[in-house]
Structure 1
Amino acid sequence: MIEFLSNNISTLIALIATGAFAGVLAGLLGVGGGIVIVPVLFFIFQSFGVSPESAMVVATATSLATIIPTSISSIRSHKRKDNVDFDLLKHWAMFIFIGVLAGSWLVTRMNGTWLGAIASMSALNMLFRTGKSAMFQSLPGKGGQVAMGTSVGFFSSMVGIGGGTISVPLLTLYNYPAHKAVGTAAAIGLIISLPGAVTMLILGQSPADAPVGTFGLVNLLAFLCIVPLTVLFAPIGASLASKLDANKLKKVFAVVLLITGVRMLVQLLL
């Protein structure tokens, strides 16, 4: 292991830098950092001779694992600013959890990058609707919120991202305050990442060409390189979020989300 690390210093530096950037995004946008971590790990794993299919599934599972401590750090920062809606979480938690279990099971059986189309459409909606009134004036009834929570957990776990990528556009569509949507998304990320990562770690079977340090579907070497930086930098992102007005925050999120969606689509089509 020591020889492996010494021969791959540039890879370690890339993982550390990824952790720092992902931490800032986690705090700033409530996205858990997966939108950065998944593509970086996807390409790094392939540089070690791992097939694209194996690289994607291990990158997805590892990303979910890194979101656990990152979300905790981000939640603490947003909670101090009263930007976490615990009442909403209380109603959504069980349905998010159910969606996560279903998505985590399915991710080992199919490629989830098609979700890039959904991410791209959500981003375009936020970009073109920024500054305009919300499409709806309040959240839907119980049935609608059950569908929202379950969908957020299901799709997010399939592509290794925190709930913010899907939940923030959904909530703001229903006239939900942008800052509170971001803070609450950080908590949703924890509900998604914990059962998702555990499921993939315990039930996932490591591919034959999995990178060194992979247990189940989670690469612990990448996890240990990334996590300390995400935890350290998440509060910085949360601090930046509190200084942006709602419209600017939506624009920042939409641009990042659009990049993510395009990246997913390219991987699907090429």
Structure 2
Amino acid sequence: MTAASVDTLCVRLRARLVAEQLGPGDRLGDERSLAEQLGVPRGQLRAALDRLEAQGLVRRTIGRGGGVQVTDGRIERNLNTIEGLPDIARYQGFHVDTRVLRVELTTAGARERRLLRLPEGATVHRLSRLRLADGRPLSLEESHLPADLFPGLAAQDLGSLYRTLRTVYGVEPEYSDESLELAFADHDQAALLEVDVGSPLVHVRRTATGTGGRPIEAAHEHFVGTRMRFHLRKYGYVHPSTTPPDQLTQPAQHPAQHPAQHQNPRRTS
């Protein structure tokens, strides 16, 4: 294998992306089938893919449906599942690090009591985290959790919150209600996310409910708008004029259908 042969293969792969009009998220194939189709050794193919990956053109994903995918550097989050960011990113070939900025035990405020259905005087854990994908800041997340459900949470591994809730406390979300809106980075957010003040952010508000029907988390996240993509599959047509308001916000009864990289989702956050 020579540098020239790798150069030639990179050109062929780029031409294939153009010829097949492949865009972000589209699958190019797995390494074995690509090597066979192109008539090259897998070692040579890997060298070419390494170069294209370094250029931000493709990513190699793992798991069922894994392989080589076209990318624009964004992580795609499927809104039909309750997968956590570390697993979502890992399926798509990214590595996520979590920095815990703050964790405290405090008396619940009025909004926390309302969202988590807590009585006056109840206590909550407040957890702030910064997520990084491949070393680049991706999101800021603040979670509020009932302290009576999760005693001693501050001493646990908080890098993957839902995994800790499941493995340590035996609690996991059955469904979550989320809303998305546009926001703009303030001074503190801009400094942590390494963007300019006023940069567009995707603001996600979430309330997660456990299997017993009790809210287990109220959270809000701010994602860097240029580093994330959201996917949603909708079913049927709802007639607001004839549909009772309470049914407009009920969890979907259809099984979640989502891209191959999200098969067999783990409820981890």
**What TM-score do the two structures reach when normalised by structure 1?**
0.29
Bigger RCO (CA 8 Å, 6+ sep) = 1
**What TM-score do the two structures reach when normalised by structure 2?**
0.29
